[in-house]
Amino acid sequence: MGARGSSPDSYVQCSLLPVRPASLVSKELHGHIKGLAPSDRRQIERLYTRRLERSELISLELARELWQLASRLRRRLGLLISREGHIEEVVVGTRDILYLPDLGRYRLGSGRLRRLRLVFSDLGAQEEPVLPSDIITDLEKLRLDAVVAVKGSENKLQLRWAHLSPAATRNGVAHHSEHVSDLGRFKLDFTALMQGLEQEIRSADQARHKTAGPGAVLVGVYSKSRKDAEASLDELRELARTARVEVLDTIVQRREPDPRTLLGKGKLEEVVLRCLGLGADLIVFDTELRPSQWRAVTNATELKVIDRSMLILDIFAQRAKSSEGRIQVELAQLKYNLPRLVEKDAGLSRLSGGIGGRGPGETKLEIGRRRARDRIAELERRISKLGLERQMRRQPRREAKVPLVAIVGYTNAGKSTLFNVLTKSHVVAEDKLFATLDPTHRRLVLPPTSDGATPSSVVLSDTVGFIRDLPEELVAAFRATLEELRDADLLLHVIDGSDEQYDAHARAVTQVLTDMQLHEVPRVVVVTKIDCIPEQTGQRLGQEYDAMLVSAQERLGLEALVMKIAQMLRSQGRNPQSLHRQPGMELTP
């Protein structure tokens, strides 16, 4: 940090370097220039010709010129100065307010600052210079190198300046500020300070990324009447964990969503500043952003912005292993992002790649609308062809009259664990959302009938889990996979009895089945994880849903469940057959 000298010997008289020729300066004034006399404008424009030493925060001569000119005009003047010491922008404000121009062309790199500092005149009545809250907001939001307020008093110039500080952020403050009572006695190697600060920022980012994925701030905007807001945000947090995203913070606003930006303007600014302070890489909204909302929010920040649907699509992209699954994910991504494929939109380049833009379709997210539609049509033809091939592979099972039992339920309800235990299989079963994406089939041996006949078999299918507000594009893309449920003779609706949101999840699954016109398919409700809940709670759930109570981990209630399956199938006249593995029966190895 810079420090004041302790004696007059430390007084530094800085001189301006030779100016750049006026013919090479073609920059205009910005801001509140109405009412300025031509001579005043020319005098302000001459500031563009000044240049500082790289090591200087601000020279005494330039600070004095800026202050005297602002005092005479009674307008706040601001300079945006590059790391190399060039005056890049000159801004004219009112007496109290300074509006900065768009800094979009001064792009940032990872772990970098903007390489611009703002120096402005403070015309307030107070004795010492002050950094207003809006200037501090600009420092944090725009990631400026520094902000400097200049004020003249008693034949000397004072400064109040600030810069971002990762060390300060850990204490709940995003910046460090300092008052300089006499600019003539102030010493600072500004270039060395910025180099050290950027190294500190990069080190902090690298330390975090070594132990976690990209960092995110989750944002929820809910009407005051919505009762499941907390549960919805918890589910978004779980989705983020599944997508390998580190949740740094959550921000909730209770209001009717703004049709343009979803959040209110002040709240959006708070979110952006919070992300910058935490070093977040992306903002995740707990809703589906309309294209216009997504563009408005994205253009307000240089962070990646995704919504709940994009996050779900990203998880599917991570989980898709089969060629069919990858095709379906790519189709869903293209359909969802087609309205967002707008040329010259800064947010689009941040959408491709990484969270929200992962998977087979990530290299196609920035193609033109026409090419995107062509690709969508091609993928739909391929999926239709895959659907016909699936039907052909299922035909031998239909001809053999082998019943199909499909496990359905909310994501992470324990479907795959139950599937493994019943069929003695080893499909992936993780404590994550959408651990299963590609359907898997195994043989399930049923107990002998009362007359002692040989045990018979059915095909048991483990399917992708449902979730509330599942993107329509995803449902449409996976229609070839979900069509298999239409051939099911029996559905096992699995409910996680240990989940506090079990009832809402059960209703969500029922709604999806109704939307798919599967509500008439016979169904057995299975409440799982009863070893994790009190016995009375399990009994109440069993009565409430007329459900079978099981624990796959503890092997409780499984025999009764298998007998229930056999009973339900035989009551339909669907007598299980002796099943031998055949190529057309889709028994995944």
Nearest 5°: phi and psi at 282?
A: -150, 160
Rounded CA separation 81/90 (Å):
9
Q: Which CATH class is domain 400-585?
A: alpha beta
- List the structure tokens of 320: 């898709």
Compare 465 and 365 and report the one with higher pLDDT: 465
How is the beta sheet containing 548-549 ordered, strand by strand?
440-445, 457-462, 404-409, 490-496, 523-528, 548-549
Residue 355's pLDDT is: 60
The pLDDT of 452-480, averaged and rounded, is 70
pTM reported for the whole predicted model: 0.64
Rounded CA separation 235/425 (Å):
28
Residue 446 is given by DSSP the state P
Residue 129's pLDDT is: 93
- pLDDT-derived band of residue 580, with 50, 70 and 90 as boundaries? very low
Q: Which CATH class is domain 214-370?
A: alpha beta
CA distances from 109 to 106, 187, 300 (A): 10, 29, 17
Cα first-last separation, the chain:
65
Rounded CA separation 88/81 (Å):
6
Residues 215 and 280 sit within 8 Å (Cβ to Cβ) = yes
**H or E element at residue 139:** helix 133-142
Distance between alpha carbon 442 and the CA centroid of its chain, in Å? Answer: 37
Compare 230 and 396 and report the one with higher pLDDT: 230
Q: Give the Cβ contact number of residue 26 at 10 Å.
A: 7
The pLDDT of 382-400, averaged and rounded, is 72
User: Tell me: the pLDDT tens digits for 209-237?
Assistant: 555 578 899 999 988 888 888 888 888 99
User: Tell me: the pLDDT tens digits for 274-285?
Assistant: 887 777 888 999
The pLDDT of 335-355, averaged and rounded, is 59
pLDDT mean across residues, the chain: 78
The pLDDT of 408-437, averaged and rounded, is 74
Residues 93 and 75 sit within 8 Å (Cβ to Cβ) = yes
Lowest mean pLDDT among 62-66, 134-138, 180-184, 320-324: 320-324
- pLDDT exceeds 60 at position 393: yes
- pLDDT exceeds 60 at position 361: no
- pLDDT exceeds 50 at position 9: no
Rounded CA separation 104/89 (Å):
13
Residue 58's pLDDT is: 94
Q: Is the dihedral angle over the CA atoms 244, 245, 248, 251 positive or is it negative?
A: negative
Rounded CA separation 386/397 (Å):
18
Give me the residue spans of the domains in the chain. 3-205, 214-370, 400-585
Angle at which helices 60-73 and 38-45 pack, to 10 degrees? 160
The pLDDT of 288-294, averaged and rounded, is 87
CB-count exposure of residue 106 (10 Å: 0-12, 13-18, 19+): middle
Q: Is the dihedral angle over the CA atoms 302, 304, 306, 310 positive or is it negative?
A: positive
- pLDDT-derived band of residue 15, with 50, 70 and 90 as boundaries? very low
**Range list of β-strands (E), 196-245:** 215-222
Nearest 5°: phi and psi at 330?
A: -60, -40
Rounded CA separation 239/435 (Å):
11
Residues 157 and 63 sit within 8 Å (Cβ to Cβ) = yes
Residue 118's pLDDT is: 95
Residue 451's pLDDT is: 56
Residues 551 and 530 sit within 8 Å (Cβ to Cβ) = yes
C-alpha torsion 530→532→537→541, nearest 10: -40
Residues 90 and 75 sit within 8 Å (Cβ to Cβ) = no
Helix/strand/coil for 163? strand
Rounded CA separation 364/357 (Å):
10
Rounded CA separation 1/481 (Å):
62
Lowest mean pLDDT among 115-124, 281-290, 336-345, 565-574: 336-345
Residue 303's pLDDT is: 80
C-alpha torsion 341→354→218→255, nearest 10: 0
Across 92-101, 294-303, 396-405, 483-492, which has the greatest mean pLDDT? Answer: 92-101
Q: Is the dihedral angle over the CA atoms 426, 428, 434, 439 positive or is it negative?
A: negative
Residue 486's pLDDT is: 77
- List the structure tokens of 561: 């469940």
